Amino acid sequence: MANKTKSSNIVVGLDIGTSKVVCIVGKFVEDNLEIIALGAYPSSGLKKGVVVNIDATTDAISKAVEQAQSMVEENIKSVFVGIAGNHIKSLNSQGAVGIKDKEVTSFDIDRVIDSAQAVSIPSDQRVLHVLPQEFVIDGQEVSLDPLGMSGVRLEAKVHLVTCSNSAIKNIEKCIKNCGLGVQGFVLEQLASSHSILSDDEKDLGVCLVDIGGGTTDIAIFNSGSIVFTGVIPIAGDQVTSDIAQALRTPTPQAEDIKQKNGCAVTEFTKDDETVEVLAVGGRPPRELSRSALADIIQPRYSELFELIKAEIVRNGFEDNISAGLVFTGGTSKMEGVVELAESIFQTSVRLGIPTKFKGMETILQNPIYSTSIGLIEHGFKQINNQMLAEEKQGFFSKILRVVKNEYWL
């Protein structure tokens, strides 16, 4: 992949989350992804993945990009942006076309994908991704690259992802206010899958669960392709809110307690472990046992995992995730999350940490950065695919010119 991309070219991933904005700059050096810059800044302008304050979001993006820019010589001009939220919808569709010259060409593949995405979607939605699942030639399933194969009829099954027009325009406006362009919008759980899932897991069947601050994003892969995406509007912010209300402490203090002392399984705490809780209204701080804190946290995580399980079962994929579940995102880091999930889902669960890169490993090998690093990987793949398409187009143009010259001679 990297040999088609000049080493001087950089790709920038921008993860605009509910709790923070992360900007990561990467490039490929000798077939290895190298991270060369990182910027992060707290965000308050989004709620459940949707912009609710243009100025606050613009400011957070600007600060995160400035931090990353200070670490690289090349100017950051455009970014690949992660998108999530309750407005994301998805469906599986299929289409079929006749193969023109009895051999599949790139034109036939484009036509059948266009046919598969010719479905009715609400006027306030737009297509974000058309992700091929499988191709069928004359009733026979073939690989995801049927180019050059012989046949009469080509069918395609695809996974369509749509998003809200207004939500994406608001994000785009914030980015343009910072003087940046958008190279592409990428579904966040799709981006995360690039950085933490193995090809074997995708082939066997796996469920990716990205637990952020505002939403929990789900993606199910089977036979190497994405077959389901979903969003649950419960995530880390609800856990923080539970702590704040139960302990009658300010939300920032509750977030700090959650990150430093949180535990998702009461049995994992020790009797002598205590937490200092700041009170409101000038009252003196008080001490709380860590097991009491876990009693507040565990029910919310259990509720979330039950909702994820119900979503998987409702869509009929409970028997198609033999590789288990992979959890990622900042809220999945808490002690006891993996063990609690295993007890509820009754299958293998692991924490997804990005490792397929070089540079700043001690900081970035963390579930918080799975989406950002995945955006860079997705960006390089998209750029290389465009370069290949341009090379093919240029090749055919040369042949056409030769044919024309021969004809006129």
The residue type found at 157 is: K
Q: Is the pLDDT of residue 26 over 90?
A: yes
Domain ranges for the chain, please list them.
89-163
Per-residue pLDDT band for 398 (boundaries 50, 70, 90) equals: low
Residues 73-113: pLDDT tens digits? 889 999 999 999 889 999 999 999 999 888 898 899 999 99
Return the pLDDT at 30. Answer: 76
pLDDT at 394: 58
pLDDT at 4: 37
Helix (H, G, I), strand (E, B) or coil at 172: helix
Q: What is the pLDDT of residue 399?
A: 55
What was the pLDDT predicted at 5?
36
| 236-247 helix and 290-314 helix, angle to the nearest 10 degrees | 150
- Alpha carbons 337 and 292: distance in angstroms, whole number: 17
Q: What is the CATH number of domain 89-163?
A: 3.30.1490.110
> What does the mean pLDDT of the chain come to?
89
261 residue type, one letter: N
Contact 266, 295 (CB under 8 A): yes
What are the pLDDT digits (tens) for 146-195? 888 999 999 999 999 999 999 999 999 999 999 999 999 999 999 999 99
pLDDT in tens, 196-253: 999 999 999 999 999 998 899 999 999 899 999 999 989 999 999 999 999 999 999 9
Calculate mean pLDDT across residues 350-361. Answer: 92
Cα gap 81→16, rounded to integer Å: 7
374, 191 contact by CB (below 8 A): yes
Per-residue pLDDT of 36-64, as tens digits, reads 999 999 988 898 888 999 999 999 999 99
> Averaged over 359-363, what is the pLDDT?
91
How many Cα atoms are found within 13 Å in the side-chain-facing hemisphere of 63? 14
pLDDT higher for 31 or 302? Answer: 302
Other beta carbons within 10 Å of 203: 15
Measure Cα distances from 345 to 181, 207, 389 in Å. Answer: 42, 11, 43
Q: Single out the residue of 56, 68, 59 nearest to residue 23, CA to CA.
A: 68
What global pTM score does this model have? 0.88
